[in-house]
Amino acid sequence: MEFRKHELANGLSIVAECNPDAHTTATGFFVNTGARDETDEVAGVSHFLEHMMFKGTPTRSADDVNREFDEMGADYNAFTSEENTVYYATVLPENQDRAVGLLADIVRPSLREDDFNTEKQVIIEEIRMYADQPPFGADDKIRARHFAGHPLGRSVLGTVDSVGGLAVDQMRDYFRRRYSPGNMTLVAAGRVDFDRLVGLAERICGGWETVATDRAVPAHASHAGFEALVKDSSAQEYIMQLANGPSATDPERFAAKLLAVIVGDDSGSRMFWELVDSGLAESASLAHHGYQGAGLFMSYLSCDPENAEDNLRRVEEIFCRVEREGVTPAELATAKSKTSSRVVLSGERPRGRLFNVGLNWLNRREYRSVKDDLDAIDGVTVEQIAGVLRRWPLSQTTTVAIGPLATMKAP
């Protein structure tokens, strides 16, 4: 296992974890752009643009793009988050050149107007699909409320109105400003021929024009609040809560992850025993998400509307108690076993390593091996977790509930 890196003259970074024993090669372009880099006028453009990347280039039609990925048997896709857009493919090692060549071509798309208009309908269907599924858009609402004006409060999907109103020139302008080589990283993991990778990137990407890019990382004030939204047709009540946590660059993020496992993992956690095993809730969980300059603890609860207020009070008690008393050494040891095992299992696939290597590079310009992560998990102490809880109390939350309840009281 060897880490390699290189930077082209125009600023494109190339990083890879090369494992000669792997069966496959995973590769992708990680672009440092997402919803947080948008304005109201172009809300949803990052995600819409991600779709448009598969619609063809000056030398390939949309059908060519899809056909060529399928011809090499690639497992490929793309996703957009609040701060990243990622295009990736896993292929057999003999297809490394083809896969990288195709990915490098599609991230310089034609953005033709008729394709733009057709794809706009697909995006609107995607927005409507999520609007029909739990939590029925409450995830966007709570983010906007919690971050109140901060860029991380923006919706990845946008709305039917914002996407419907987008013009193709606005997207072209956003593309030109955000997809500069210095704002992108070519990442690979698994069985990688790194010298070939660099050579190919030099030929295809070396001529890409550099544009100055910037990202606002303003400080984020703490907002707490409570809102209940009514959705009569929903069978269950869904409650989300956000509290501040360590950012993606904070060394305390490992302690935060372990705390979330102890308090709110899907199974075996405090929330599991109190709410799920007992049958009081259909699901109850807590997770930590780190971003650039901010972090979140996000909890999710779904249950019979009748139990909602009582369950929310129980969650609050769990949060307050762990703030008061901390976690036990036995709980921490169990959380370490679970978390380490997950790191090992996901690390066995080049696909799993690709995301780890790529996101570490985007967030911190840092390479971390599987062993580095296992050591970091192993090193977390009970005292460190107590420190995390003092700095970022779980109980100071923004809460949004959605479901059939017409009135709901904050705990």
Partner 1 sequence: MSQQIYTHVFDNGLTLLAEPIASLESAAFTLLLPAGFVYDRPDRVGVANFTCEMMLRGCGSRDSRAFVNDLDNLGVERGESCAASHMSFSGATRAANLMPTLSIYADLVRRPHLPGDQLEAGRAVVLQELQAIEDDPAHKVMVDLRRRHYGDPWGRPSAGEEATLESADIDELKAYFAQHSRPNGAILAVAGRVDWDATVREVGKLFGDWKPTDVPPPADVVHKRASHHEHHESNQTQIGVAYRSVPYNHPQYFQAWGAVGALSGGMSCRLFTEIRERRGLCYSVYASHHTLLDRGSVLCYAGTSAERAQETLDVLVAELKRLSAGIEPAELDRLKARVKSGLIMQQESSSARSGSIAREHYLLGRVRTLDELSQLVDAVTCASINEYLAANPPRDFVVATLGGAPLELPDGVS
Q: Which stretch binds partner 1 (CB under 8 A): 30-38, 209-217, 277-285, 356-364?
A: 277-285
- In angstroms, give the least distance from the CB of 37 to partner 1: 24
Residues 9 to 28 in contact with partner 1, rule: CB under 8 A: 21-24
- Does residue 153 contact residue 147 with C-beta atoms inside 8 Å? yes
Does 369 sit near partner 1 (CB under 8 A)? Answer: no
The two tokens of residue 397 are: 């939350």
Stretch that binds partner 1, among 140-148, 175-183, 211-219, 348-356 (CB under 8 A): 348-356
Which residues have C-beta within 8 Å of that of residue 198, sequence separation ≥ 6?
A: 6, 14
Site map 128..157 versus partner 1, x via CB under 8 A = xx-xxxx-----------------------
Based on CB atoms, which residue is closest to partner 1, 133 or 407? Answer: 133
By DSSP bridging, strand 85-91 and strand 283-291 are unpaired
Residue 345 binds partner 1, judged by CB under 8 A: yes
Taking the C-alpha atoms of 264, 289, 30 and 71 in order, what is their torsion angle to the nearest 10 degrees? 20
Q: Is 50 a catalytic residue?
A: yes
Name the residue with tokens 């959380």: 335
> How many chain residues touch partner 1 (CB under 8 A)?
66
Q: Rule CB under 8 A: is residue 169 a binding residue for partner 1? A: no
Q: Is 119 in the site for partner 1 (CB under 8 A)?
A: yes
Token pair 């440092």 is found at: 32
Hey, what are 121's tokens? 């309908």
User: What is the dihedral angle through the alpha carbons of 246, 252, 253, 255, rounded to the nearest 10 degrees?
Assistant: -120
Order across the sheet with 225-230: list the strands. 225-230, 398-403, 237-244, 294-303, 283-291
Q: Taking the complex as a whole, how short is the minimal distance between the CB of residue 222 and partner 1, in angstroms?
A: 32
230 touching partner 1, by CB under 8 A: no
Q: How far is CA 203 from each of CA 4, 100, 198, 199, rounded to the nearest angstrom?
A: 19, 12, 9, 6
C-alpha span between 169 and 154 (Å, rounded): 21
Residue of 196, 235, 364, 391 interacting with partner 1 (CB under 8 A):
235
For partner 1, the closer of residues 102 and 294 by Cβ is 102
Task: Using CB atoms within 10 Å of the CB of residue 220, give its burial: 0 to 12 exposed, 13 to 18 middle, 19+ buried.
Answer: buried
Answer yes or no whether residue 98 interacts with partner 1 by CB under 8 A: no
* Helix/strand/coil for 284: strand
Q: Is 278 in the site for partner 1 (CB under 8 A)?
A: yes
Choice among 50, 82, 83, 309 that is catalytic: 50
CB of 280 to partner 1, least distance (A): 7
- Nearest distance from C-beta of residue 32 to partner 1, angstroms: 26
Q: Is the peptide bond before 135 cis (omega within 30 degrees of 0)?
A: yes
Pick one of 39, 222, 267, 328: the residue that binds partner 1 (CB under 8 A): 267
Q: Which stretch binds partner 1 (CB under 8 A): 121-129, 143-151, 320-328, 381-389?
A: 121-129
**Nearer Cβ to partner 1, position 144 or 374?**
374
What span, in angstroms and rounded, lies between the C-alpha atoms of 349 and 342?
12
Cα separation, 401 vs 110, whole angstroms: 42
In the list 2, 39, 41, 122, the residue contacting partner 1 (rule: CB under 8 A) is 122
Q: How far is the CB of 16 from partner 1 (least distance, A)?
A: 17
Is the Cβ of residue 299 or residue 302 nearer to partner 1 in the bound state?
Answer: 302
Q: Helix H segments across 12-132?
A: 45-52, 62-71, 96-106, 113-131
Range 378-407, binding partner 1 (CB under 8 A): none
Could you tell me the smallest distance in angstroms from the CB atom of residue 135 to partner 1?
9
CA of 181: how far to CAs of 132, 138, 324, in Å?
38, 35, 48
**Alpha carbon separation from 207 to 12, 173, 178, 211, 393 (Å, rounded):** 11, 19, 16, 12, 49
Q: Which of 341, 365, 379, 391 binds partner 1 (CB under 8 A)?
A: 341
Q: Does 349 sit near partner 1 (CB under 8 A)?
A: yes
CB 245, min distance to partner 1, A:
23
Among 18, 106, 124, 184, interactor with partner 1 by CB under 8 A: 124
Catalytic residues: 50
Site for partner 1, rule CB under 8 A:
21-24, 54, 62-63, 66-67, 69-75, 90-92, 118-126, 128-129, 131-134, 232-236, 267-268, 272-273, 276-283, 302-304, 333-334, 337-338, 340-342, 344-345, 348-350
